[in-house]
Structures are given as C-alpha cells and as structure tokens.
Structure 1
Amino acid sequence: MTTQPVRPLHAAVAMAVLLAGLWVVEGLDQLSGNALDTYGIHARELDGLPEIFTAPLLHAGWDHLASNSVPFFAFGALVLLGGVARWVAASLVSVVSSGLTAWLLTPAGTIVLGASGLIFGWLTYLLVRGIWSRRPGQVVLALAILFVYGGLLWGVLPTTAGVSWQAHLGGAVGGVVAAWLLHRRDVQRRPTAPATALYG
C-alpha cells in the first residue's frame, strides 16, 4: 500500500484531538451515570457484536482512561507517521481482531471496553513491520519501543484480574496481521540495482 507520510506535528495534533475526544466521551459517560458503558462488547451475545467498534471509545473510569492515554497518543502518532491510509487499515484490523477475540473468549455476561486492544495492535504493528519492510529506521524504532514498552506484552496473558487479556491478545494478533498485509510487498516494490556483468 502506497501512502503519503504524515508530518510529526500533524500526527501529534491529530492524536491529541482523538485523545481529547476519549476524555470528552468519558466525561459524558460519568455525567450519565456510566450509561454509555452499555456500548461495550457484550461477550458471547450476537447482538453485542456491533459494539466491537464503540468499545475502544469507552473506559471504566478516569484511572482506566489515564493509564491508556500515553500509549494511545504515542503509538497512534508513530503509526500515523507512516500515512493516514496505513493508520486507518492498521487500526481497523486491530480493533476487529481485538473485539472478536474478546467477544469469543471472555466469559458470558461480561462487558469489555477500553482502547487497550487497539493500543496492543499499534504496539505489535510497530514492533514487527520492519520484518517485512526491511527499513533500518523502522527496525531501530521497533527495538527502542521494545526496550521502553516491551513489558506491556505480558498483558496478553491472564495475569491481572479485571483486565481483558483477551482484548490485548486479539489486538496484538491484529497488529501483526496488519503489518504483514501492509508491508509484505514493500521489498518487492523497491527498485533493485541492475546486475553487473564481469568479463575475465
């Protein structure tokens, strides 16, 4: 997929606006007595599947949103630097994969909400895209992210009560899939140097 890169300032502003939107949504949720939480994913309920797309916009209180805010902004901006089309595609794949996994693996009667599945998708996308693109800058960035945020990957395991490891796992898988879909042809499209003939 060919796409125009986004300038760092524009990416930062765009993600700041999106993050501000999450805080506004949480404010409205608090004012409504958490009525918006019903738009989270209702596990194992067929009529709860559309909430896959609304659940990432909702959080279980200010602390939940605050813990997601920095990685949401940072990872989202880094993905956006690669272009709007890739950002949209990577985000959509991550949201769908995270939502379906949470819907399928979470015990019935549970509501899953939060942006962490999307965040895990962005994280793994940034970590593995260099495998297919073979761009040194992306590989170096992946190593830096792994060094700083690598501990987050433990979130795909059922280690903390009340935390949806299912959404994390699904998002992480989605990020890997998105990186493969978006970057596997990068090397094939890159022009190669003409062969040199040697004569003895």
Structure 2
Amino acid sequence: MSTPGRDATPSDPRKEGALLVLAMVAVMWVVEIIDSLDSQRLDRYGIEPRHLDGLRGIVTAPFLHASFSHLFGNTIPFLVLGIGIALSGAARVAAVTAIVAVVGGVGTWFTGASNSVHIGASGLVFGFAAYLISRALFSRSWLHLGAALLVGFLYGSTLGSGLIPQDGISWQGHLFGGVGGVLAAKLLDSRGPRAAPRRADPLAGL
C-alpha cells in the first residue's frame, strides 16, 4: 500500500522555466499566424506613446510582430537568453519577464515618438541580456560572470547597435527593456541585504 504523494516525482524548476520560455515563444508564433491572416490588424494593440489605450501594449506588444521575419529575428535570442534565465527556475523567468515588460513598456510609452506603435519582443530580449550581464555584478558569482561574458560575446554588437536611434526601430523599447533587466537583477539578487554582525555581550553570561 503506497502513501499518497510518496511516489510523486519532484518537479524540476529548470525544466519548468524552459517550458515557460517555450510557451511564450509559442504564443508569439500563434499570434503572428492569426495576425497575418487578419491583415496585421492586431498590431494596433502595441504600445502607443502617451495614449491611455496604448498602455495595454505593455502586456500585448511583446507578442506582436510586424512580420514573420521580425518574429524570427527575435525568436532565437529570446530562446537562448530565456533558457539562460530558466536555469534559475520558472519563477525567476516570470519575475524577470514581468519587470522588464513593465519598465520597458512604461519607458517606451513616455518617450516613444508621437503617432507611433511599438511592437515586438526585442525589448524583452534586451532586458534578458541586461539581466544576465548585470546579475554577475550583484551576485559576484564566477558562474554568472561566465554567463555574462558569453552573452556579451554573442550579442554585444547587436545590443549596442540596437540603442542607436533609427527609423522603424524601437530603440526606446531596447533602452528601457535593458534598464528593466538591470533593475530585475538588482531586485532579484539572491544575496539580499546582509545582516550586521552580532557583537558579543560581555555580560551575557552573568
């Protein structure tokens, strides 16, 4: 006779994190397929700077893309960087994504060009990269430093060029997405505040 729950296989946080990343990518592709069949009408739900209706784009914009080539260009780095974060579990992926999306979206909403609509997952990509790089500064872990160097090697030039103002490119989303990534690394630093050392009381034993 087995005890309920005794034979349950413990969940793997890394696997769950990877599945969450894959699920977000799957949603992006499903949305783009639907959007392409509907003459890209869903793109109007992106971030519209300084329009109240445009605030909904903070949630929807990362899942909207102008074309399949635009989506494909974001898919590979999103997967690579997202899986890197997923090694810390699904909760970490969700937290980083939420912080980057909010900071990047609000920043874009305030600073984006008037009469423009900002869409795409590149803000999250920049945020993921910034998180993985800046995390090493806060954790002071050699493993995190190695990951930061690898991210810099793979995407350093792309990150730099993506911050240069260009027509048709949401450099604001890139910039504030990166800010969100640094903020996420700081807020989610596992070390937390260090407690002050206790001083021995010479009268404690009296």
User: Which digits, 9 at most, give the CA deviation of each residue in 1:106-132, with x for residues without a partner?
Assistant: 111111000000111100000010111
Within 5 A, what are the aligned runs for 1:151-170?
151-154=157-160, 155-158=162-165, 160-170=166-176
- TM, length-normalised to structure 2: 0.83
Can you give the 5+ residue segments of structure 2 that lack an aligned partner in the other structure?
Answer: 1-10, 196-206
In 2, the alpha carbon distance for the partners of 1:186 and 1:130 equals 14
Partner residue, 1:107? 113
The answer to whether the aligner puts 1:39 opposite 2:45 as a matched pair is yes
Please give the per-residue CA displacement for 1:138-184, whole angstroms capped at 9, x wherever unaligned.
111111111111112211221x3211000000000000001011116
Q: Deviations 1:72-103 (Å, cap 9, x if unpaired)?
A: 11111111111222211111110011111111
8 Å Cα contact 1:133-1:186 kept in structure 2: no
**Aligned-partner residue type, residue 149 of structure 1:** Y
Aligned partner of 1:6 in structure 2 is 13
Residue 160 (structure 2) pairs with residue 130 (structure 1): no
In the other structure, the counterpart of 2:149 is: 143
Give unmatched runs, 5+ long, in structure 1: 190-200
Deviations 1:32-89 (A, max 9, x none): 1111111101111122112211110100011110110101111111111112222111
The one-letter amino acid paired with 2:91 is A
Match for residue 197 of structure 1? none
Q: Report the Cα distance in structure 1 between the residues aligned to 2:143 and 2:155, rounded to whole angstroms.
A: 18
Is contact 1:156-1:165 (8 Å) kept? yes
Structure 2: distance between partners of 1:59 and 1:85:
26
Aligned-residue Cα RMSD (Å) equals 1.9
Q: Matches of 1:11 and 1:178 in 2, distance apart?
A: 16
Task: Point out the structure with max Rg over C-alpha.
Answer: 2
CA gap 1:47/1:11 in 2 versus in 1, 3 angstroms: closer
SS in 2 for 1:156: coil
Identity within the alignment, %: 41
The alignment status of 1:172 with 2:189, answered yes or no, reads no
2:130 aligned with 1:117, yes or no?
Answer: no
State the distance in 2 between where 1:5 and 1:132 align. Answer: 25
Higher helix share: 1
After the TM superposition, which segments of 4 or more aligned residues of structure 1 sit over 2 Å from their partners? 4-7, 9-18, 184-189
CA distance in 2 between counterparts of 1:5 and 1:150 reads 31
What secondary structure is seen at the aligned counterpart in 1 of 2:188?
A: helix
Cα distance in 2 for partners of 1:157, 1:81 equals 31
The equivalent of 1:192 in structure 2 is: none
AA aligned opposite 1:105: T
TM-score by length of 1: 0.85
* Amino acid of the structure 2 residue aligned with 1:94: V
CA spacing shift, 1:86–1:168, aligned 2, 3 Å: same
Gap change, CA 1:130 and 1:184, over 3 Å in 2: same
Letter in 2 for 1:116: S
* AA partner of residue 77 (structure 1): I
Q: Is residue 95 of structure 1 aligned with residue 106 of structure 2?
A: no
Q: Retained in 2: the 8 A contact 1:44–1:107? A: no
